[in-house]
Amino acid sequence: MKHYSEADLLETYYMQPDEATPIIAHVNDCVECQNRYRRLAQKLRDMAACPADKPATFWTRQRLMIMRAVDNAREQSQRAVRVGRVAAAAMLAFILGGAVVYKSVEPSLKAPAVVVSQQTAAPATSTDDLQVPRDPWQSDELKDFGTVVQWESWVPDSSKESSL
């Protein structure tokens, strides 16, 4: 008859009972393995003993520490909310103030805008004039040739023919 070692029984101890059915069946029938399993289980339980049986002062101190940390966290979150509100109010005031100032200054801002547009429009007009003169005879370019133009215009038709 094969007996199981503690190493084999370890699996039985930790895994689900239905997953170690052959071992459990054997342990139930075999007194030796039963004793071995009991010893192992006892040892494992001893090992798992947690020092949670602390004095009441330990838990009180821990609770106080937690509550202090919680208070700090709450204060910080409240402070963050407060700072956020102040920032939002400041932003709103800035925007509203800006709007009011803009409204009050708006008329005076409009006039220079018109002047600027005229100033910019003037060169455009002169450029047009240069390109397409309204009266070609009055243009500056023909001023120097005014006498020649006048002479040519006073020459009689007969002299023109003889010269030809």
Is residue 50 within the footprint of other proteins (CB under 8 A)? yes
CA 44 to chain centre: 54
Residue showing tokens 């090992």: 47
Is residue 63 within the footprint of other proteins (CB under 8 A)? yes
When binding is defined by CB under 8 A, the residue of 48, 56, 109, 111 that contacts other proteins is 48
d(CA 50, CA 12): 22
Is residue 22 within the footprint of other proteins (CB under 8 A)? no
How many Å is the Cα radius of gyration of the chain? 54
When binding is defined by CB under 8 A, the residue of 21, 28, 29, 74 that contacts other proteins is 74
Is residue 71 within the footprint of other proteins (CB under 8 A)? yes
**Cβ contacts of 12 within 8 Å, gap of 6 or more:** 4, 20, 23, 24, 27, 37
Task: Provide the 8-state DSSP code for 139.
Answer: S
Q: Which stretch binds other proteins (CB under 8 A): 57-65, 88-96, 119-127, 132-140?
A: 57-65
Single out the residue of 133, 134, 155, 153 nearest to residue 145, CA to CA. Answer: 153
Q: Which is nearer to other proteins, 39 or 79 (CB)?
A: 39
Shortest separation between residue 110's beta carbon and other proteins, angstroms: 52
Chain residues binding other proteins by CB under 8 A are 3, 5-8, 10-11, 14-16, 19, 39-40, 43-44, 46-52, 59, 62-63, 65-67, 69-71, 73-74, 77
